[in-house]
Structure 1
């Protein structure tokens, strides 16, 4: 299983980074995982800003040579792991900018004249690991699960990815946030992951 880990947090002293380290540790100890590649969007200096003009058109984004390495990573991966904080009820703008550019028509999906397009990333699976300052039930009770709906239905299902697992950890800045327990949960999940 080829695993692409996409880490999105500007601070390597953060809890998100600790979760990232546990993902890597678990993957390293899992014989079912052949290879792990890492994309740290902030460290990479990924430009999340969309630019469209007379020379750069949205319909050509799937073939943008500046994004070729990122397209190759996504095609290579059997499993894609996203690690990010929840800010204002959604992933960081850096990650959303990556999604806007990478999950483009002609690469991630193809229009076929019907109500929904054909997803071109079928057979892949995704794990989303997010953390937030607010309580764990905040997204469900206050935001009607907007984050999960955005990721599962508006993105992954649209491009053909049906298998999506969420770890959404709340109260992560609280002394009673059980951070070590949650870190260990992530480590164990990736250590024992089979598909």
Structure 2
């Protein structure tokens, strides 16, 4: 299987990066081809340009679309900031999942063009999962991100892992999280 990992975190030695490395190593051991696109490392420009609003595709977007086209499965790894993705990842979605590539209208009906591909989301957050669930924010986030973006474009979202209470977690707890998630 061809596995693309799209990663968005500005610190190269973050817990998020440890997640990327663990997922990539695990998939390679399973015999999968893996490509990691670190949006900060590659300097991905998240701002949608005026020519792109009119249907143009810039070279950097064309490259990223080639990786998405190549992949059977895409994993998105990011921290949750302000109940959403970091700006660089949202900009990736805005620019790469463009009309005509990821979705279009056919006879007035929206159609996801990335059907047949699966996606997983892994995000970290500082609040506990219980706090997000009690406030209704967890449901809202899954509606806007999982369904409103990825399923809208045709992906089958197979999993959405959450690593919560990151700032208060210990190194031992994080190690145990990896052990539990790898099964």
Length-normalised TM-score, structure 2: 0.91
Residue number in structure 2 paired with 1:119 = 112
Instruction: Give the SS at the match of 1:130.
Output: strand
Residue number in structure 2 paired with 1:16 = 16
Listed as ranges, the matches of 1:39-78 within 5 Å are 39-52=37-50, 56-61=51-56, 63-78=57-72
Is contact 1:22–1:184 with CA below 8 Å preserved after alignment? no
- Considering Cα pairs closer than 8 Å and 6+ residues apart, tell me whether 1 or 2 has the greater RCO: 1
Long gaps (5+) in structure 2: none
C-alpha distance after superposition, 1:117-143 (max 9, x if no partner): 111100000010101111122332221
| Shift in alpha-carbon separation, 1:59–1:141, aligned structure 2, 3 A | farther
| Shift in alpha-carbon separation, 1:130–1:76, aligned structure 2, 3 A | same
Residue number in structure 2 paired with 1:137 = 130
1:184 corresponds to which of 162, 179, 182: 179
Cα distance, 1:29 vs structure 2: 1.1
Alpha-carbon distance in structure 2 between the residues aligned to 1:48 and 1:139? 27
Is contact 1:5–1:36 with CA below 8 Å preserved after alignment? yes
C-alpha distance after superposition, 1:20-75 (max 9, x if no partner): 111112112113x2x101100000000001221xxx141314x3333111110000
Q: How many residues align?
A: 181
Residue number in structure 1 paired with 2:121 = 128
Length-normalised TM-score, structure 1: 0.86
